[in-house]
Amino acid sequence: MKPAPFGYADPTSLDEALTLLAEDGAKVLAGGQSLLPLLSMRLASPATLVDINRIPGLDSVAVSGAGVRVGALVRHADLLHHAEAARVQPLLARATANVAHPAIRNRGTTVGSIAHADPSGEMTSVLALTGGSVTVATPGGPQTVDWADFFVGPLETSVHGPAVVTEAFFPALPPRSGTAFEEVSRRKGDYAVCGAGVTVTLDEDSRVTAARAAYISVGLVPEVHDLTEAVAGRTVAEADWAAAGALARTLVDPDGDLHASADYRRLLVGVLTERTLARAAEEAASR
């Protein structure tokens, strides 16, 4: 199918974009890799697309000791190859490498993916797992929204009215911590049937003090689960990662669909949790 007719505007400032977005049926266009398929299937029919690609200052990646700030026009591919961002928060490169195909990563934006709020998207889970936030430009000024307050349902956020998500902030990986990310899909580049991103933190004696996980295609919104109780106080070699995987299976409540049953997704949660926690712990020990 082809999209329904729509208007097009390409503002050169945030103020101009917000004025346009105040009109009924206006919608932001950044990379368009999530939006355009919806238009083509007529699952979305905006009156006007407000293209923000000409607005200056939204295409930068700022790295500091506190974390990584990703602008609204930063492409997945740019973030994937940003060495400093990967050093401060390794989950960014690890998750971005799993986003669709190279052609989509070259055009799609990380912040756009987050604003799309698809629970099957990699970057929504990374924002949750890292305890990140987004900055939203509104007519009343910029607002910072924590990840837990941002996602309210599938393809739905708490942002209403004229607004533009201008950046996402991913806190830095804590000391003596490691990360891992893995997903299972029917074909390379497809949406994940199930995916897992994890972090493990060790104390000075190399014993586990924290183990956390977030999953893809499992819940209606990103969820972060604390699995520490299954492995707390154990060394990397002693930790029972299978027990952590078993605990994770009891904490999730996936739905089934034509790609996978709920039971299969729950099984994958356990398998991926065990694998990724073990790798993350080894990385934490090496740091």
**Domain segments of the chain as ranges:** 1-173, 177-286
Q: Say which DSSP state 41 is in.
A: T
Per residue in 30-67, pLDDT (tens digit) is 999 999 899 999 989 999 999 999 999 999 999 999 99
- Domains 1-173 and 177-286 agree in fold: no
- The CA distance from 81 to 86, in Å, is 8
Per residue in 134-183, pLDDT (tens digit) is 999 999 999 999 999 999 999 999 999 999 999 999 999 999 999 999 99
Give residue 1's pLDDT.
72
pLDDT greater than 90 at residue 280: yes
- The CA distance from 197 to 209, in Å, is 17
Extract the tokens encoding 198.
């994890």
pLDDT greater than 80 at residue 261: yes
Looking at the domain 1-173, which fold is it? 3.30.465
- The CA distance from 128 to 198, in Å, is 11
- The distance between the two most distant Cα atoms of the chain, rounded to a whole number of Å, is 63
- The CA distance from 207 to 205, in Å, is 6
Regarding beta strands 192-202 and 67-71, do their DSSP bridges make them parallel or antiparallel, or are they unpaired?
unpaired
pLDDT greater than 80 at residue 214: yes
Give me the mean pLDDT over the 208-221 stretch: 97
Give residue 136's pLDDT.
98
- The CA distance from 121 to 98, in Å, is 10
pLDDT band (50, 70, 90) for residue 287: confident
Per residue in 77-115, pLDDT (tens digit) is 999 999 999 999 999 999 999 999 999 999 999 999 999
Per residue in 190-202, pLDDT (tens digit) is 999 999 999 999 9
pLDDT greater than 90 at residue 188: no
Give residue 262's pLDDT.
97
Domain 177-286 in CATH 3.40.50.300: no
Extract the tokens encoding 101.
């195909």
What percentage of the chain exceeds 90 in pLDDT? 95
pLDDT band (50, 70, 90) for residue 3: very high
Q: What is the mean pLDDT of the chain?
A: 97
